[in-house]
Structure 1
Amino acid sequence: MAIAYRQQIDDDTEFALWRIEETADDLYKQLQLDETEKAYTKKLSKSKRYLHWLGTRVLLRKMLGTDDYIDAKVDSHGKPYLVSLPYHISLSHSFDYAAVMISKTSPVGIDIEQIKEKVERIATKFMRPEELAFIEEERKIQHLYVCWCAKEAVYKCYGQKEVSFADNITLHPFTFQHHDVLDAKLHKGEVNIDYEVGYLQYEDYMIGYVKG
């Protein structure tokens, strides 16, 4: 199994997708883990969550092109980081895919979601009324998933808790394309950050990705 999709954003930034077809044991054998990580994996059941954890780490290893131990930790806000390598990272997963984004120069955020009808039921929880107003009726589900993935990517890139998707992340109106960019703003207190968020429909998945 190899990388299913890879996109270079600029000279220092890229993301990739890995279709998880291996068994947990096959993925585990491709990793070097310390004792803490080994203990953590034992707590995970042999389920998709376990496969997702392993899959993102295998993909990260492939993208960094190293067989050495990768010391990846999570900070107090839940954002993953590398202790001894000069890369910002972001990890995501959904059903059969793992996604990883890396950059040498800036924080990054990536989100992958399998496209399902249920997003329409929760749209008002993560969208503002003015955002719902630009959603195209004929491609509503895809359009809503772009919005969700874009906001999730911005949230991960910003890297701090207590951010409301509806109240603190605003998307400028855009029309749905299968692969495009949109403008977003994160506003919370004195924080105001503009982002250009890329998105891509890959098979029946939506990916949002952003570099800070």
Structure 2
Amino acid sequence: MPIVYNKNVDEHSVLAIWKIEETEAEMLAGLQLKQHELDIISSLNNGKRLLHWLSTRLLLRTMLNTKEYIDCQFDEDGKPYLTNLDYQISLSHSYDYAAVMISKKYAVGVDIELIKHKIKSIKHKFLSDIELAQKQIGDNMDGLYVAWCAKEAIYKWHGKKGLEFKRDIHIKPFKLKNEGNLNAIVELPSGTKELTVSYFKTNDGYMLGYVANNA
């Protein structure tokens, strides 16, 4: 199991990243699956979508270190949850990596993305003019991906439809590093909240952002 990153974010929360190197058969051998999950697998066919689905479940099983069956489902808003274990979870994947974050206490959100030039063509769709005016974001590809991963992580942390990246999540000025933190103002139905998002860039060109907070 090639876990390339494993961090205790705090005393309640853990983040792990796995590089996908196994075959479909090798991953299936490490999972306990019931018919509804086998139906999902058959609908995904072969390829990256299937490998991503399998890898997040196998990483989740490895992190929880249990022999129990792990029933991971999605609610009506698309947020993953465990029906039989008392953890909050978030899943992400991009190309050759899967990322999972679990917490015994907090809502969590994680996002991993391969850094690609195409983000510059969509930056106005998820960033306000005020955010784009920040020199560490603007036309800086790393900065754009930090902002995207931060907003995606916050969206997953919130776990409800209706939260819009450009309208409701506002990145405050931050100092861009290969690893760091930023603060974001989030306009939630329950009121305005400020969250701290951690992020880091991998040596092979991926960006990851994550948040844990008991709102």
Do they superpose with TM above 0.5?
yes
Report what 1:17 is aligned to: 17
Deviations 1:133-190 (A, max 9, x none): 1133797000100000000000000010011100000110112111111001210454
Q: Is the 8 A contact 1:135 1:144 kept in 2?
A: no
Deviations 1:95-146 (A, max 9, x none): 0000000000010000000001111111000001111111337970001000
1:53 partnered with 2:53: yes
Q: How does 1:142-157 map to 2 (within 5 A)?
A: 142-157=142-157
Report what 1:30 is aligned to: 30
Number of matched residues? Answer: 212
Amino acid in the other structure paired with 1:147: A
More moved, 50-59 vs 63-72: 63-72
Report what 2:86 is aligned to: 86
Deviations 1:80-104 (A, max 9, x none): 0011111100000000000000000
Unaligned runs of 5+ in 1: none
1:208 partnered with 2:202: no
Q: Is the 8 A contact 2:137 2:144 kept in 1?
A: no
Report what 1:95 is aligned to: 95
Taking the aligned partners of 1:28 and 1:117, their CA distance within structure 2 comes to 34
Report what 1:104 is aligned to: 104
1:158 partnered with 2:158: yes
Taking the aligned partners of 1:137 and 1:110, their CA distance within structure 2 comes to 20
Amino acid in the other structure paired with 1:206: M
Q: Percent identity?
A: 45
Taking the aligned partners of 1:50 and 1:159, their CA distance within structure 2 comes to 23
Amino acid in the other structure paired with 1:148: W
Structure 1 residue runs of 4 or more that deviate by more than 4 Å after TM superposition: none
Report what 1:63 is aligned to: 63
Q: TM-score, normalised by structure 1?
A: 0.96
Taking the aligned partners of 2:190 and 2:67, their CA distance within structure 1 comes to 43
Counterpart secondary structure, 2:175: coil
Q: Is the 8 A contact 2:137 2:147 kept in 1?
A: no
Amino acid in the other structure paired with 2:145: Y
Taking the aligned partners of 1:180 and 1:88, their CA distance within structure 2 comes to 24
Amino acid in the other structure paired with 1:149: C
Q: What's the offset of the Cα at 1:51? A: 0.2
Taking the aligned partners of 2:168 and 2:27, their CA distance within structure 1 comes to 38
Alpha-carbon RMSD across the aligned residues, in angstroms, is 1.4
Unaligned runs of 5+ in 2: none
Q: What's the offset of the Cα at 1:192? A: 1.5
Amino acid in the other structure paired with 1:195: L
Amino acid in the other structure paired with 1:13: S
